[in-house]
Structure 1
Amino acid sequence: MKITDPIGDMITRIRNGQMRGLKKVSVPGSKLRKAVLDVLQKEGFIQEYTVSKDKSFETIEINLKYMYGDPVIKEIERVSRPGRRIYSRSESIQKIQNGLGISIISTSKGIFSDNEAREKKLGGEVLCKVS
């Protein structure tokens, strides 16, 4: 079965895994997903992720992060969807919960958190919001 929204699928798997209290969730591998997970790991929302390859199929296993039994990710939401893309300039990227959360932005230079995109003065597609 072909996934039409790979980022949306990954976000849903992370959200469902944390609601169930799972330590790990797995998603099919892709460069875009790895780049988004790099940002989530750098910002402290997940512990780590590992990539395993079976023949020609790549799988990413995400170790979810909990603090005192509660998930670190309180809310994760897809912003730009395949049917409705949302773009933002670097000056108009909104802060999430007064800087406690992040937006993940896909720019021409790569995938960055909202803070990094503002520093580098890069705008782009707002992939998701995490808090």
Structure 2
Amino acid sequence: MKNSIVHFVSKIKNGRHKAIIEAPFNAETWEVAQALQRGGYIRAAAIDDNTIRVLTKPFAIQDIKLLSKSSRPVFTDIPKYCDFIDQKLLWTPEGIFWDFEARKKRLGGEVILRIR
């Protein structure tokens, strides 16, 4: 997993009670931001002067945890069930998807994070 994703997730975790979070732009972090917007965890994400600005939703993210690390990647096949309490973000060959989206497309991949 890229260090930029780790940095972006830690910014989200530490700034989840702020209105706006800024992080350096990277293609992977932008894809994670779009996935968080699709999942309803943030209001909007925009690119401005090589930075990503994220408008957060208050109390939408209770807990966010990185599951894969560069020293210990966690892989999964097609998720067997969808746990709607904990949702997982997967890095698949076709892009970054939530576990329920990956199940519909019958994809497996590296589990990036778990979010509540």
Partner of 2:38: 42
Partner of 2:72: 84
Report the alpha carbon displacement of residue 91 of structure 1 after superposing the two structures with TM: 3.9
2:15 partner SS: helix
Checking the alignment, whether the CA contact within 8 Å between 2:79 and 2:99 is kept in structure 1 is no
**How many residues are paired up?**
115
CA 1:115–1:6 in structure 2 vs 1: closer, same or farther (change >3 Å)?
Answer: same
Structure 2 counterpart of 1:60, one-letter code: I
Matched ranges for 1:90-101 at <5 A: 90-92=78-80, 95=82, 98-101=83-86
Query: TM-score, normalising length from structure 1?
Result: 0.82
* Stretches (4+) displaced over 2 A: none
Which of residues 67, 75, 89 is equivalent to 2:63? 75
Ranges in structure 1 where 5+ consecutive residues have no aligned partner: none
Partner of 1:126: 111
Structure showing greater Rg: 1
Structure 2 counterpart of 1:43, one-letter code: G
Checking the alignment, whether the CA contact within 8 Å between 1:103 and 1:130 is kept in structure 2 is yes
Which of residues 23, 26, 29 is equivalent to 1:30? 26
Report the alpha carbon displacement of residue 38 of structure 1 after superposing the two structures with TM: 1.0
Partner of 1:12: 10
Checking the alignment, whether the CA contact within 8 Å between 1:105 and 1:126 is kept in structure 2 is yes
Structure 2 counterpart of 1:120, one-letter code: K
CA distance in 2, matches of 1:16, 1:107: 26
Ranges in structure 2 where 5+ consecutive residues have no aligned partner: none
Structure 1 counterpart of 2:87, one-letter code: I
Report the alpha carbon displacement of residue 86 of structure 1 after superposing the two structures with TM: 0.7
Checking the alignment, whether the CA contact within 8 Å between 1:79 and 1:126 is kept in structure 2 is yes
Query: TM-score, normalising length from structure 2?
Result: 0.92
